[in-house]
Amino acid sequence: MRVTGVIQAGGKSVRMGGRPKALIELGGRCIVERVVAALAAVVDDVLIVTGTPELYSFLGLPTVADVYPDHGSLGGIYSGLKAAAGEVAFTVACDMPFLHPEVVRLVVARAGQGDVVIPRVGSQLETMHAAYGKACLPHIEERLLAGQLRIVGFFDRVRVVEIPETDVARFRDPAVAFMNVNTPDELERARALVAKLR
């Protein structure tokens, strides 16, 4: 089964003062380069969903624009899945600096077992570290057209396979593996962590 890695880079970075979170330097590389490195080790190909492709041209990866602009993360998931060459899109946010290839592999290895394969940490489903199959497309589009943008809103229409927190924890603390850098405070925390994780 072919799996395309999809990096979501469509956000406005409002809490970071408007500068693209993905391009912030962390431990000698910008965050998106760290994301690409973790994905490329596991998936068949990688693309980026963004409205500003010129910012990411240095990565040499294909980019796609949102099919439904201003429809949040669900719109980005739809756009990446629709454009994916593979039957499955493993979708992550561009601001997750501590993605772990083995945690990615945990999800990707089970991609054929459900339409959505997703880690659960406590009560939280990690929707931006999940594999979405092409069977999800009509259900996501229905939600987008209705203006219902909650990602888990279509999950009752598809087969969902959950990866338990304990499986993730074998490779990396889930609080670190799924960490986003959305605010200056989170960036400082990430800078403290990056030195320890080398």
Q: What pLDDT sits at residue 10?
A: 78
Residues of the chain with pLDDT under 70: 11-18, 198
Residue 44 contacts residue 110 (beta carbons within 8 Å): no
pLDDT tens string 87-132: 999 999 999 999 999 999 999 999 999 999 999 999 999 999 999 9
Q: Cα(58)–Cα(36) distance, rounded to whole angstroms?
A: 12
According to DSSP, the β-strands at 116-121 and 88-93 are unpaired
pTM reported for the whole predicted model = 0.94
What per-residue confidence (pLDDT) applies to 103?
Answer: 97
Complete domains list, the chain, with CATH: 3-196 (3.90.550.10)
